[in-house]
Structures are given as structure tokens and as C-alpha cells.
Structure 1
Amino acid sequence: MKIKMALLLMVCFFTGFGQNKEVKERIEDLQESIDGIAQIDKMYDIQLIIKPGDTAFDENDDFAFTKSVKPKEYAEVAKVLSSKTFGQEIMPPYSLLQIKDTDKFDWVAMLGVDNFFFDEHPRYKPVLTLSKVYFEDGTSKKADELLVANAAELLKDDNSSFNDTYFLIKSTKRVASIEYYLVMEVTQHESVIFTPQKTDYVVNNQNVSLKSWSGKEVGFLFTEDNLNQLLGMDAVYKNGKFLNEKGSNSSSLPPLSKRKQFQELSKFYAETIKSAQKNNFKTVKELDDYILKNHPKMDTISPNNVLKNYYFSGPPSEIRMYFAKETSFKSNELIKNNRFSGYANIDKRSVATDFKTQKKGIVNLQGEWLVKPEYYNIYNQNDYFFTARKNENDEGAYYWLSDDGKKWENIGNIEPYRQTVYGDFVVVEKGTNGPKGIFNIKTGQMVIPTVNDNIYVDHNLFVVDHKDETIILDENTKTILAGNYKSIRIDAPFIYVLPPNANNFSGYQVYNYKGKNISENYLSDGGYEAGSNMVLVYKKGKGEYERNYFYLNANGDVVITVDPNKYEKAERFRNGRALLKEIDGYYGFINEKGKTIIPFDLIEADEFRGKYAIVKRKETEDKVWVGLIDENGKPHKEFIGWPYYMGYDDRTDSYFYNIDDKTIYDGDGNLVKEKE
């Protein structure tokens, strides 16, 4: 039964003026409160009630029974799975180490308990004890030399997170890894057995009592603490099986020490009603003022007893309850955690917070200030670019920090367009989405001015779009090519460009990384060579559709000449294999020396896509094998037929073979969609 105390206290705060009708309504409120207190008072005198009740039950119904919920006995934490990451916030003269999500250790693997147990009992969390700290400079120190004793007082909980564990250490050096032990408040349990004859126990120094036993329904009086420590219960049928729990309900009951105060409160309300009925109060405000002035003093009431009734699938013969008893166990395995994560840590320097002033600056690996802590906030873009604000109202600006950390310069609205650093350079833009340029992070100089439409990096080359011209720069920003091109493809060590008036299918020119046109005497389709050091080119043959194929190296030298009297078609190299088709119609593969590596006995074949190529081979007069072969020509996976479509799926980062829309294989031959 719910206590109607909210209503009792609410009447004391009405201040509006009213007439006699409102006074009557307030009297009704007081009477309702008196009735509620009377019902609470009766609960203190509840006696044990045992009666037959509903006992109808089918013993042969397997669905009426369940497994025991008795908890396991735990001796110690034998193994800890270290999957936590940690972060470091440098706060000179200290560093704050954070082990993230320490409430999410793999309890199932560690203790054999399920997540539901820890959801229900959140206080059973690990306590981590720091053992040793290893720094990136190769040194290490034991925890007792580093830990700050009054860390909680110094931090003032500003950095605390409910799910994380923090250590404040006396060092500003970058931490490489940490070692710690885990201490776990593991629950052992105490078992008690209730029967109609055994009705009372003392558990964890508090009483638990049986209050009713009627057929399938059993009621108990708990303290709140004991109810919270109840791990589970088994309702045992007379045949020894465990009954299903069908439901429960509960009522809160204030402690017995508050009974007299409730009785005095009820008496005061009754006297107030009598006085009100004699018209001693003309308005509801007068009545409320009287209650506020003369209300008996009440201690803060928070129910700490609960009357709870349980309903089971059948009539139990005994109830077994399991109550938690907390015991601390220390892991006998030392955890070493070197999975670094978080805060503003970067490779060479870190954003740090001065512990006293709470201002931001930048420190090196040794924890020495490179940029003095004079800023309201600093954010790192990469090792060299930072945004910084002097105060809360400052819009901020971009800053460049030199490689040696001696130069810290405001570069205004020049900001990195790509966060990645390419050697000594980074692509920048003038204002967000503004014109692009290239900045030398070592010298602090703009080597390509911010006047370009776009700049991106492809296979270690800078591609600069400036109005109608495309400029290709090497890794040192020196020009390789410049011109107006319809298309550009880069596949190291080759650059394919399509001039404005060239044929889209055969007009590509192939350049090497030195800017030499190695295809000026040949034609090229501009296909990617998939990492090969040779490029496929051709010359027109005698017939309209005949081609004479050649494979060139990056200097433009002919490495392989494909015999036009033997082969009618050649494909680019992929994974060191090139597909050729003989004049008689059979396919095979050669290596980069021009030697046959997979025999020409294939009646159909496609290029290697990843580690495998799809082929069709005639095994007997009546049987044709279709599937994937490896780089040596050995069968890898047989398919049910030749795909009508094959390609590359960016979403799954995998090749695929679509046989008929109902059967699809991935690039390794795994079935990803079966027939419906």
C-alpha cells in the first residue's frame, strides 16, 4: 500500500483565499489522510497468516517448473581479461590517467555470471589498484612513487565519470602503458529456508520474516537493505522441483520507530477537523495557516521496510532465499594495459592544463612546456596545427607549432583542409571551404598559395585543380605535369591522363612519376594496373579490331611483347598475373616475366580480383567446372554457374560474383545470398 504522505504535506502549502466550500474540501483531504494513517498503523500489527488457499496444480506440467537461481560460489577472481583502454590528460605538475568503462569488464568470462546480475546489483564494481607506470622515454616507476594521496580533494570530482577509474600521478611525462591489479567486491551468498514452521531469520544483522502462506501465494516482510541484497529465491515444490514465479506486489512500510509520530499526526488532523466544523476558520487560508503553525514535528520519512507478496505456478513446500554477502578478492593476475586512447594526446606533443590556473598550453613527451599555459582552450588538428582561444569570448585562431617546438605562430584563418600530414606538407585552406594551398610544416611557409579550387593527394602525389588546369606535384611539391585534362588516373608508378580531344577508350597518355610520357608511341585504355610495375599498351594490328600488345616498365622499356600470331587479347597485370586469350579461344595467365603460370586450358576466365580469379574449365566431355582458382591455378571454390555480373562493393570492401540475383558469392567464394 502506498503512503499518502505527499498529500499530507501538500495541504500545508495552500495559500489561496477561499470560501466555506473550499474549507470543506480541505476537511475531506484531512479525513482521507487520517484513513491512510489508520491503514498504515494496522500493518504494524500484521500477524503470520497460514491457510490452505489455492492449491490446484498439475504436477505433470513441465512449463510450471524452472531451474534453480542459486548463485555460484566464488572463491577468487582467477583471471581478468584486459580489454580496457586508458587515456592521459597532462595537468602540470600532474597527469590524470583514466581507465575507461571499468564497469564493463567481461564478467561472464571472469566469474561465470551474467550481465543481468550486475545490472541488478550495480554496487558490485571493480576497484583498480595501480601498480606501475611505464613512460614513452623508456623509464618506469612504481605507483607508490607517483600517486597523489589527496587526488580526490585536488580534482574536486570535475573530471570524474561514473564508469571510469582515475589515477592522479606526480608526472607530466607521456605514459606508454600501465600495470594494475583488480580488486573485486564479489558476492558470496547466505541461504535461508522458509517453511510454515520456520518463519524468521536475521540476515546481515536485519530481520526477514514470513507474513503469509496461502496456497500459491507467500508474503514476506523485508528491510529495504535486505531486499536489495536478495540475489534470488527458489520456490520448491514437494517433488523437489522449482516452481515458476508468476508475479509479485509490494507495499512500503515506515520503520516501527515512526509509528508514534504517525499516531500524533492523525490525532492532530482529527482535532483540526473538529475545530473547522465549528466554523472556526472562515477561509481555507486561515485553515492552512493553522496547520502550518501547529503541525506536529515529523522526522524525515523514508520507508525502510517492504511487505512483498509472491505468486508461484504451484503451492511451494519451502522457500529458499539467497542473500548477498560482499567479500573483496584481489585478482592474482597483473593487468598490463598499453592500449592508449583519448584526450588531446598526439604523437610528439600534447595539449595540457596547468593544474593551478586551469589554463591550456602544449607540452612535449617529457612534460615540458612548449607553449605556455595562457589559453582558455586549445584543440589539436595534427602535430603542427592547433586552434586556440585566449578567453571564453575569443573566436579563436589557427596556430602553427614548429617541429622543434620553438616557434608558435598565429597563421590567422589558414586552417588544415586535410588533417593528414604528407611528409613535410599539409593541404590547407583560407577559411572554411575557401581556396586551397600547401603549407610546409617544417618551415612554416606556404609553398603553394591558397588560390586553388581543390587539392588532394593520390598515391603520394598532390593533384591541384586551378581553374581549368590540373597540376600534378611530386611528394616534394615539384611539378610533374600540368595541363587541361578530361580525366586523370594515378596508379603508382604510372599517371594516366586523357587530353581534351582524345578518344575516351584509347587516347590515354601514360606518364611516370618523373613526368616522362612513356606511351607516346602506343595507345592505352587507361586501366589501372593494380599495383603492377608494368603498364599494358598496344598498337593497332592489320585488321580493324586487331591489337598488338606490349607491357612496359616505368621507364617506357618493353618488358613483354605479346605474340599477335598466338594471342588475340591481353589484360593488365593484377596480383602478378595477366590474363591472355589465345587465338583458338582458350585463356591462361602469365607472370611478370612472360612465363605461363596457369595453363591455357580455360574456356572462360576473368582477371584476378583480390586473391582469386573466376574461371570456367572443361573437365570432361559432359562436365564444366566453374569457380575460383588461386594464384597457382588450384581450385578454391566451385560456383553453381557463371556470374552475369561481378564487381566491387564499397560498402563491404569486397569483390562479389552475382550468379542470378538469387545466389551471390563474395570475393573469397563465401555464399552471401542464397536462393529464396
Structure 2
Amino acid sequence: MKTALTRTKLLASALVVFAVIGGAAYYLLDRHAVTGLVSGTDYSEDQLNEGEVADINTLSLSEAKKRLNYLILDARDSINQIAMIESMRLEISPASKTDPVPAEKKELRYDEPFVPFPATQLSAALGALQQQAFAQVFFDNQSGLKLDVEPIREVLKRGALPDQRHEERYAVQAVSFRDGTQQPFTEVGVVSVEDEDTSKAELKVNKPVERIDVALTYQAYAGFKKIMLDPAHPKVAGEQGEIYQLTALADGSASLLLATPKDKSLVIQGLSADGKTLYSGGSSSNSSPTAEQKANLRAYYDELLRMQDHFSSYTTSAELQAHLEQFVKDLPDTASALTNVHATYHFEDTPASIVIYLLEPAQLQTVSLQMHNSVPPQSRYIAYDNATQKNGFIDNQGHWVVKPRFERIQYSEMPGVYHMQVGSTPEKDGWRQLLFKYFTFVPGGHTLKELPFEIIEKPINADLMIVERETNGPYGVYDLKKQQVVVPMKYVNVNVVGELFIGRPGLKTYGSDSDYGVWNLAGKELLAPRFSNIEVIGDYLYTTAGNDQQRDVYSLKLQKINPLGTTAIGAFIQGQPQLVQERKSRRFSFINPQGKTLPINLPYDEVEPFSNGMAVVKTGQRYGAVDTEGKQRVPLKYTTLNAFQKNLASAEMEGFKGLVLIDRNNTVVKKLGQYTTYSIPANSNDAKYSIWDTKEENRVNVFDADGAQIDSYQRE
């Protein structure tokens, strides 16, 4: 039998005696407000006999009285400790008159904030998923289905608690075959209750499947309650006796007293002053007595006092022990719907507030899914023969059309082309290399044909693909329909755009031992290989002459756009005109996509391409800018003017040291100051400026394109 003393000690040991935390901190104060304290006789050491109830019957009556004194004192201490903790208030006070030297602020880590995602939202998100897929693999008389469940699991993670392993089960209900028939899974499936991975299933047939109906079951909580605690609001009480109380907040930790429903889950996170979720370093907790346990403890204490007052009525110590044991046995059941704990949570920094999410009990949910076969319909399928442990091909009826004789066969990224193991190198030092080749079927039959390349770089369309003769080239184009190489494999650094094959003849992907040219996808030369570079930007081709002095722009039909005698600068981007320069006169002009010169007067020494509708111009040592109509919106007054972002441009001017931001009407919007570095991509709004702080030495503040500060750091 559990003794009264044991029960009392369990209550006492569950309590936490709080130490005042050093430094300026939030901590528990104000003992004057304590309610529920009990007082009584203080006993000297010779009036106490420390011990438990179980051996009182071995004591003399005089020693039994001392044991009773000890039990009274122990119960009183437990009651008072509980009362002190429950009456403590969170206040602010410096623990020392001498403020410590502030340590250098460390770079903080943050957690992803918990975003509640209850059952209704989870179900809606699953329903909004794009078409789900599975892959079918074939055997000599069976087939296997592997469900692509990663998109589903990503959604289910949102409904799980942080660091909780979500579990789900998939049950195939019905199977629809590509011959138009449909059967319940119980008739055609292999049912295995022992298989824990339910994202796989086996069929008793090897017929190609079109789709399957799947029942997905998972756990989800129906709703949640959000509780916020901070120094101004340290306690929240619920209607059913729930308690959420902040008791200490300092030194990267927060202590809480919680009385929460046993059937609900808690997610507790610490927030910084700006609302970020602080990185969690774990937690520790101790049980705390429930209201029922405290009532029993008080009844037990009162009974001890009554026994002390009537001690003379006990004739033996055994009678005293029997009475105590019976009293404890008759106490009301202390079962409670609440769990009482004191917990301390540790964070990367002292939180400014604590957020608690109280989640309803998780319940089993079921949703119906329809999945489609990711292996497209075809005349034959790779199949594995269990008897020979080899691979071959079967037709739509499951009959072998290529006997199983290959160690491995894989589908490639090009439909109708297979990657097959044809052998291996001799074993050396315990290792051997597997040898693979690409194969396809000769049209009109089941005869395999080996293809003359080692690697498929990428498909171009249903018939054409870029291929490599061997690793790292050279590259060419293979026509699967014609079953021949149509662009010889003798080019490197290739690019296919529309009907154009761009590359340079040679074997080396590095160096400049040859020039770039353009061919069509039948191998006909369209632009001779005489260019040091050919770049595709949008719907245009830009060629750079071998001497790097001439740059021309072509349409994808290879119609030259820039006028004769001009070189192209920049590119057609975002519908803006193309900048060109006459080679002889060095005059600048803008042209449209038809190659027509636009009536934009450019009497400047230098002109830059348009960026977000503004072109920087320069005369002498001064910069300004014009818009796409040719109007000079920014006068020639700046010593530096960078490419315009969507709204502003950075510049340098006389009378101010460092960068300023100006708008399109030459208004100085913000003075940033002296810079250490900056990055200004054209035709974007992604500029970043690193500016020296004017007050703190070696501190750098980072601003975005619109002048908003986005970062700050100390430079060594």
C-alpha cells in the first residue's frame, strides 16, 4: 500500500524552488500577496522522528508522537511551497545595481513558426493537389504499383506537430486497366497485412493500368486555441480550470506553470521582440499537483493535526499507523482531466513573449484519391522474370515479345528509348564497371536496335534529341523516327532554340579552338562557324565576331536586325528598344525589332542600354538619363549614375559624399552615404547597397533598390 508519507513526498518533490536569476531579468517577486499559507508549531530536532508511516508500529508511543510531528511539518511545508509558487507574480527588477558589461550580440538562429493546419484545411489542401501519379512495374505474371506520395506527404507535414513523424496509410480500392476494364483491388491485388509501406501494392496480373482509386487515412486535429503570454499578460485561465502562467523569463529561457487538458497537444514557441520564432534548445519539466491532490494534501494535514490533538486516545503505535493508512485509503480519487506541470523551455535568446497552441485531439481522417499511371501507354513494357531473374519486354496482353535475357533495362527520358546493361568490365581490385547502351525498336516489329551514342543530353521533341557520342561530347542530334543521326556528333557547347542548333565544331568544351555557328535540325549550315560567341536572349540571337569588335542581332528566323554598319549593345529586353552604335561615326541610336531607327536624339559621348525604361547617358564627365521617348528626364549633373531599377537609380553628385537615390524626375529620394560595395543588375529591382553606418564604426547597413534597410552587420 502507498503510504501517506510517500504521497506527501511525491507532492513535495514535484515542486520547484525558484532561484532569482542574475542580471536584469523578469523573475518572481512579491511574497506579501501569497495566499493559502498555513502556520503552526515549530519543532526542535529532539521533537522529530524522521521517517515514513510504514514503520510507525515499530516505534514506542513517545517516538510515534515525534514521527507524527515530522509528518505534520512535512505536509505543512508542501502546502506552503505550493501556495508560494501559485501566488508568484512576474515582475521586472534588476538583480544587481551594477550592470554587467554587455557582451557582443551573437547572430541568432530562428525556427520556422508553427502555423496551425487543422483537419478542414488539411483536407482542402489534399483535394487541391494536382493529379497524383504511380509507376507500374511488370513481372512475368504480376505487376507492382509504386505510388508517388511525396506531394501528399508535404501537405501532411503541415498538419503535423513540429518534429513529429506523420504517418499515413494508402489502401488501393479499385484498379482501372488500359483495356477499359475495372476491378476491385480485392479481386486483382495481393493483400499483405504485414507490409508497413502502404505506398506500394502488388497485382496478380501484369496488364497495364490506367488509374487506381486510393483511400488515404491520416491523423489530424479538428481545431486549436492560441494563447499569448508576456510580462504584461503572464497568466491566462480557461473555463474548465486550465491555467497557462509565465513564471520566469530570463537567460534564454522561459518557465511556465501549465494545467492543460490531458487529451490535447501543446506547441510552445518563444518569440523575439520583432515576432520571430527563436531557435528552441529543448525543455525540462516536473509534475505539479492537481486541485484534487492539493485538496487531499490539505485534508491529510488537517487529519494529522486532529490526531495530534487526540494523541492520548491511541494506546499503541500500531493503532496510530492503522488509522493513518485507512484515512489515506478513504481519500477521494485524485484523477483529473488536466495535466499539471512546471516546464522550462530554452531558446537561443530570452524571448519577449511565449505563444502556446493548444490542439484538439488528433482523429483519424479518410480522403479518396485518384492516381494515374506515370508510365505512358506504349506497345511494350519492361518486365522482370522471377524464374531467370532477367529483364525483357512484354506486350499489352502480358506476353513476352523480347525474352528475359538482360540484367537491367531502364526507361530513358526519351519515350521509346531504353537504357540497357550490356555487360561489365573485368573485375579489378574487387570492382567492376557496368556497361550500358541505348536501344530502341525497329519500327513495325520487336527487333532491338543499338543506338550510336552514350548519353542523351535532352529530348527536343517527340522525335529528336540532343545526344553525346561519349561523356562531355561531342554532341549532335538523333532522329528517332528516321533512326539516324541528323546533326553529326561533332559539336560542343551546344544549344537548341526552336529549329536552330547552335554550337562550335570540336571535341573540347573548354578553350577557343573553334568558332560558333548555327545549323538547322537536319544538319544544314545556316551561319558559318565564325563567331566567338552566340547568345540567345529572349527571341533574339546575338552573335559576336571573332575579333570581338562586331555584335549583331538576329531573329530566330536568322533575319539580321541591326542596320548595316552598326554594332548591337545590350539586348531587346522587356519590349525596350535595342541600342546600336555606328562603327565609323560612333553615333548611337535605338532601333525597334524590325530594325528601324527610332527618332530619339542622342547627342551624347556615351549611351547605355535601357534599364526599366531609362537609359543612362554621358557627356564629358557628367551623367544623366533619357526615357524611351528620348526625353531627357535626368540632367547631365551626376558624377556617377547607375542603371535604373523599377523606381529609383543610385548616383553620386557634387556636394555629397557617397550614394544618393533619385527617381525618374531627378528628385533625390534618399541619401544613402558612403558605400563599401553595391550590386546593380539592369532591368530588375534587385539592387543592393552596402553603406557605412555614420554612427557606429565598422558597421555596414544594407539597403534594397528602394532604399529600405534589409540588413546590418559588423565588418571585421
TM-score normalised over the length of structure 2: 0.49
Q: Deviations over 1:354-385 (max 9, x none)?
A: 47656545689999988776533112331243
2:383 to 353, 360, 383: 353
2:367 is aligned to: 334
1:537 is aligned to: 580
Change over 3 Å in CA distance of 1:498–1:617 after alignment to 2: closer
Instruction: After TM superposition, give the deviation of residue 551 of structure 1 in Å.
Output: 1.4
What does 1:11-50 correspond to in 2, within 5 Å?
Answer: none
2:488 is aligned to: 449
What does 1:393-472 correspond to in 2, within 5 Å?
Answer: 395-401=434-440, 409-411=448-450, 414-421=453-460, 424-457=463-496, 461-467=500-506, 468-472=514-518
Instruction: After TM superposition, give the deviation of residue 438 of structure 1 in Å.
Output: 2.0
1:507 to 538, 545, 550: 550
SS in 2 for 1:659: strand
Instruction: After TM superposition, give the deviation of residue 414 of structure 1 in Å.
Output: 1.0
Q: Following the alignment from structure 1 to structure 2, what is the Cα–Cα distance between the partners of residues 636 and 622?
A: 12
What does 1:52-67 correspond to in 2, within 5 Å?
Answer: 61=18
In the alignment, does 2:486 pair up with 1:486? no
SS in 2 for 1:572: coil
- Residue 657 of structure 1 aligns with an amino acid whose one-letter code is K
2:289 is aligned to: 237
- Residue 473 of structure 1 aligns with an amino acid whose one-letter code is W
Q: Deviations over 1:237-276 (max 9, x none)?
A: 377799xxxxxxxxxxxxxxxxxxxxxxxxxxxxxxxxxx
Instruction: After TM superposition, give the deviation of residue 668 of structure 1 in Å.
Output: 7.9
1:14 is aligned to: none
2:695 is aligned to: none
SS in 2 for 1:640: strand
In the alignment, does 2:217 pair up with 1:182? yes
Q: Which has the higher contact order (CA 8 A, sep 6+)?
A: 1
Instruction: After TM superposition, give the deviation of residue 517 of structure 1 in Å.
Output: 4.5
- Residue 170 of structure 2 aligns with an amino acid whose one-letter code is L
Q: Following the alignment from structure 1 to structure 2, what is the Cα–Cα distance between the partners of residues 329 and 171?
A: 39
What does 1:492-571 correspond to in 2, within 5 Å?
Answer: 492-500=538-546, 502=547, 504=548, 506-519=549-562, 521-524=564-567, 526-530=569-573, 532=575, 534-539=577-582, 547-553=587-593, 555=594, 557-565=595-603, 569-571=606-608
In the alignment, does 2:179 pair up with 1:148? no
Instruction: After TM superposition, give the deviation of residue 606 of structure 1 in Å.
Output: 3.9
Instruction: After TM superposition, give the deviation of residue 439 of structure 1 in Å.
Output: 1.2
- Residue 143 of structure 2 aligns with an amino acid whose one-letter code is Y
CA contact (8 A) 1:107 1:114 kept: no
Instruction: After TM superposition, give the deviation of residue 494 of structure 1 in Å.
Output: 3.6
Q: Does 528-537 or 426-435 show the bigger shift?
A: 528-537
In the alignment, does 2:432 pair up with 1:380? no
Q: Following the alignment from structure 2 to structure 1, what is the Cα–Cα distance between the partners of residues 372 and 472?
A: 35
Q: Deviations over 1:562-605 (max 9, x none)?
A: 3134x554433456x352538696745544xx476x94579665
- Residue 571 of structure 1 aligns with an amino acid whose one-letter code is E
What does 1:260-271 correspond to in 2, within 5 Å?
Answer: none
1:88 to 127, 135, 145: 135
Change over 3 Å in CA distance of 1:466–1:126 after alignment to 2: closer
1:32 is aligned to: none
CA RMSD in angstroms comes to: 5.9
Q: Which runs of 5+ in 2 are unaligned?
A: 21-80, 87-117, 222-283, 295-332, 340-360, 426-432, 507-513, 693-699
Identity of aligned residues (%): 13
Change over 3 Å in CA distance of 1:477–1:493 after alignment to 2: farther
Instruction: After TM superposition, give the deviation of residue 481 of structure 1 in Å.
Output: 1.2
Q: Following the alignment from structure 1 to structure 2, what is the Cα–Cα distance between the partners of residues 674 and 177?
A: 54
- Residue 581 of structure 1 aligns with an amino acid whose one-letter code is V
Q: Following the alignment from structure 2 to structure 1, what is the Cα–Cα distance between the partners of residues 380 and 465?
A: 19
Change over 3 Å in CA distance of 1:401–1:335 after alignment to 2: same
Q: Deviations over 1:19-73 (max 9, x none)?
A: xxxxxxxxxxxxxxxxxxxxxxxxxxx9989657795897763899999xxxxxx
Instruction: After TM superposition, give the deviation of residue 446 of structure 1 in Å.
Output: 0.6
Task: Give the aligned length.
Answer: 462
What does 1:186-335 correspond to in 2, within 5 Å?
Answer: 235-237=287-289, 331=364, 334-335=367-368
Instruction: After TM superposition, give the deviation of residue 388 of structure 1 in Å.
Output: 0.9
Instruction: After TM superposition, give the deviation of residue 472 of structure 1 in Å.
Output: 1.5
- Residue 421 of structure 2 aligns with an amino acid whose one-letter code is R
Q: Following the alignment from structure 1 to structure 2, what is the Cα–Cα distance between the partners of residues 646 and 476?
A: 47
Change over 3 Å in CA distance of 1:61–1:646 after alignment to 2: closer
Change over 3 Å in CA distance of 1:430–1:625 after alignment to 2: closer
Q: Following the alignment from structure 1 to structure 2, what is the Cα–Cα distance between the partners of residues 106 and 498?
A: 49
SS in 1 for 2:566: coil
- Residue 166 of structure 1 aligns with an amino acid whose one-letter code is K
Q: Deviations over 1:115-150 (max 9, x none)?
A: 45x6xxxxx944333345678x89795755775154
Change over 3 Å in CA distance of 1:646–1:422 after alignment to 2: farther
Q: Which runs of 5+ in 1 are unaligned?
A: 1-45, 68-75, 119-123, 187-231, 243-316, 323-327
Change over 3 Å in CA distance of 1:408–1:508 after alignment to 2: farther
Q: Following the alignment from structure 1 to structure 2, what is the Cα–Cα distance between the partners of residues 673 and 458?
A: 40
CA contact (8 A) 1:103 1:164 kept: no
1:256 is aligned to: none
1:266 is aligned to: none
1:129 is aligned to: 171
Instruction: After TM superposition, give the deviation of residue 445 of structure 1 in Å.
Output: 0.8
Q: Deviations over 1:435-472 (max 9, x none)?
A: 33221233211112233455344676422222424321
Q: Following the alignment from structure 2 to structure 1, what is the Cα–Cα distance between the partners of residues 435 and 558?
A: 42
Q: Following the alignment from structure 2 to structure 1, what is the Cα–Cα distance between the partners of residues 533 and 598?
A: 27
Q: Deviations over 1:376-408 (max 9, x none)?
A: 311233124321136899955423436978676
Q: Following the alignment from structure 1 to structure 2, what is the Cα–Cα distance between the partners of residues 182 and 569?
A: 68
Instruction: After TM superposition, give the deviation of residue 523 of structure 1 in Å.
Output: 3.2
